[in-house]
Amino acid sequence: MVFISNLRRRRKGGSLCIVVAEISFAFLLWYLNTIKFQGIVRSVRSEYSHEHTFDDVRLADAGGTPEGLNVTVDQQAPHHRRRVQLMKPLSTQAIEDARRKILKYLNTSTTFRIFRRDIDPENYKFGTNLSTIMEHNQTEVLPSPVGHRCAVVGNSGILLSSLCGREIDDHDFVFRLNLAPVDGEFSRDVGSKVDLITLNRMELLALETLSKDLNTTVQGWMYINRLNGTVTDSSIVWYPLGFPEKLSQIAVSFRDTLQLQPAWAYTPESLMYLASKVWNMPVPSTGLSVMTAALLHCDEVTMYGFFPFPEDSRGRTLRYHYYEPDTGPLKGNHSFGLHNMPKEFSLLQKLAEDGALRLVTERCYDKIFDVT
């Protein structure tokens, strides 16, 4: 009996040692990743920093002042000359190369299947292949191109104080991620235009649970406050991770509880899975997946709010998401979790360098401008 008791104590002690070792190893990885990518953070200088729209550039070069900006003549010219020098055009060849790579796994007929607005959510039918989808005759595709200039807006804290809102809204079509709020204090930095916004699996499950009493629980009201001013009847809410039957229940809840009737869309085969094949990325993020689709449906793509590091190039501490405060010592380091965010960022940098897209990681307006 004494032997067994001692053995149990040793096993408990051994388990505790293993747990301590795992925690120590996790913090060591966090520290090493921070050191590894510190150089990237400090070296990042977007070629598109402190910029206005192309129309603003032309207007200023012609001696005018962009509407909504209060600037002096002395401040105006150097700023815009710098933009013209730094904003290199996109490469038609690079865009075509990226599309060819994507089209090996995706096509515009199945990337977005958008339920027609004359179909009641209670009657939604989901299909796993194009023939079944066509037989159901309930959905349409997203036009290609959906717009000449598209913005894909991520949720990084890099957007706070960026004053990029007006520039983002100036695009023909705006993709947003995971029901991120755009109203109130955020619109100046992230804009307010929401043409398409994604719903990830975590939000899908949460909304499905809350759908029966969305307006009677604290968490339900948190979602209501987050959705108000973000999703409108003209928006498309897109679940890109397969065909969820729960989407019907959520759409009914939006209609009956929130009086919101956006268009609802899904992707028959998980876009995350397809994007992993395109970019050789084991578990791509929603942002990378949406960028992949945007390159098929837009002539030009500009990325905002994609910066997976805890501080920017000026040493400013960043939130993980622009709309929520950090929680926990590892929240700001995106090397942890399912997605390899620094690797994804390197891919975005490479695509931007090649001219396949634009990547904005700096303020869109200098502090000398008064944006109204």
Confidence (pLDDT) at 55: 39
Measuring CA to CA, how many Å separate 206 from each of 18, 246, 321?
34, 11, 19
Q: Going residue by residue through the chain (372 aa), what tens digit of pLDDT does each one get?
A: 443 444 344 444 555 555 445 555 444 444 444 444 444 333 343 333 333 333 333 333 344 444 443 333 333 333 443 343 346 689 999 999 999 999 999 988 888 999 999 999 999 999 888 899 999 999 999 988 888 999 999 999 999 999 999 999 999 999 999 999 998 889 999 999 999 999 888 888 888 877 777 767 777 777 777 787 788 899 999 998 876 778 998 999 889 888 889 999 999 888 999 999 999 998 899 999 999 999 999 999 999 999 998 888 878 889 888 888 764 444 545 455 678 889 999 999 999 999 999 999 988 876 544 444
d(CA 158, CA 360): 10
Angle, helices 341-354 vs 2-43, to 10°: value is 20
Q: Residue ranges per domain, the chain?
A: 89-371
d(CA 268, CA 201): 15
Confidence (pLDDT) at 329: 42
Residue 68: which residues within 8 A CB-CB, separation 6 or more?
A: 166, 371, 372
Confidence (pLDDT) at 331: 53
Which structure tokens are listed for 283?
């578990």
Which structure tokens are listed for 277?
């094949």
- DSSP string computed for 225-285: HHHTTTS-TT-EEEE-SB--THHHHHHHHHHHHS----EEEEBSS-HHHHHHHHHT-SS--
d(CA 166, CA 259): 28
Contact 305, 191 (CB under 8 A): no
Eight-state DSSP code of residue 332: T
Residue 286: which residues within 8 A CB-CB, separation 6 or more?
A: 177, 178, 198, 200, 240, 272
> Which CATH number is 89-371 given?
3.90.1480.20
CA atoms within 13 A on the CB side of 367: 1
Element (H, E) at 113: strand 113-115
Q: Is the dihedral of CA 298, 303, 304, 308 positive or negative?
A: positive
Residue 50: which residues within 8 A CB-CB, separation 6 or more?
A: 79, 82, 83, 362, 363, 364, 365, 366
d(CA 124, CA 116): 10
344: left (phi over 0), alpha (psi -120 to 50) or beta: alpha
Confidence (pLDDT) at 313: 80
